[in-house]
């Protein structure tokens, strides 16, 4: 039973990330300043969301999704560069989650998470993701590796994550209103 749940979590994580990645590319193409560097990156919110909820399964799903996106030719990278980007895509939000849970006293089930802690997760994740990606891009001598691209990627991850979380919050409030409840699950 546990393995089927893990497979479901990995699949949901990968599908959400791939879907939002291509949607983001469609709506924010004018804001992209380099390969994989965008001023608004909504999938960053999915990265945080699935690792907060699914933990390691979410990180594996994100890495698989990134591997599929890059392998199918979205970016023309060699296999080593593609694998590195995929690993970073999965590990950066997981490291952000682990840092916040261990250092900001957030419960593993997220029952006590506050807005302040969520903003800390977004900031820490964005720093980790942007920093690790840029280090990898520079190490692999890719065009997107630079300080300016780090700043754009960091801003894109923060803005995208905040927008994604706001959409989730609005959606939950909308459903609660339609159901006439104070809580989504009663």
pLDDT at 185: 58
| Residue 19 scores a pLDDT above 70 | yes
Q: Which tokens in the block code for residue 125?
A: 């994740």
What DSSP designation does 33 have? E
Rounded-to-integer distance, Cα 143 and Cα 31, Å: 17
- What would the pLDDT profile of 165-176 be if each residue is shown by its tens digit? 888 878 877 887
Encoded tokens for 96: 């952000």
* pLDDT of 8 over the 70 cut: yes
Q: What is the pLDDT of residues 99-129, one digit of tens each?
A: 888 888 877 767 777 888 888 889 999 999 9
pLDDT at 63: 97
Domains and CATH numbers, the chain: 2-179 (1.10.1760.20)
How many angstroms separate the CA atoms of 111 and 31, rounded? 36
């Amino acid at each position: 039973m546990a393995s089927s749940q893990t497979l479901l979590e990995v699949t949901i994580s990968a599908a959400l990330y791939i879907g939002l990645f291509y949607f983001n590319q469609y709506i924010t193409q004018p804001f992209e300043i380099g390969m994989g560097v965008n001023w608004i990156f909504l999938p960053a919110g999915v990265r945080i969301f699935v690792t907060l909820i699914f933990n390691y399964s979410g990180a594996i799903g994100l890495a698989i999704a990134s591997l599929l996106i890059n392998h199918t030719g979205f970016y023309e990278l060699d296999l080593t560069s593609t694998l590195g980007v995929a690993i970073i895509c999965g590990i950066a939000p997981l490291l952000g989650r682990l840092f916040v849970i261990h250092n900001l006293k957030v419960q593993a089930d997220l029952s006590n998470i506050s807005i302040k802690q969520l903003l800390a997760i977004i900031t820490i994740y964005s720093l980790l993701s942007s920093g690790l990606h840029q280090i990898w891009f520079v190490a692999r001598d890719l065009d997107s590796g630079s300080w300016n691209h780090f700043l754009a990627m960091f801003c894109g991850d923060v803005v995208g994550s905040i927008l994604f979380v706001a959409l989730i919050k609005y959606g939950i409030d909308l459903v609660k209103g339609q159901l006439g409840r104070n809580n989504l699950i009663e």
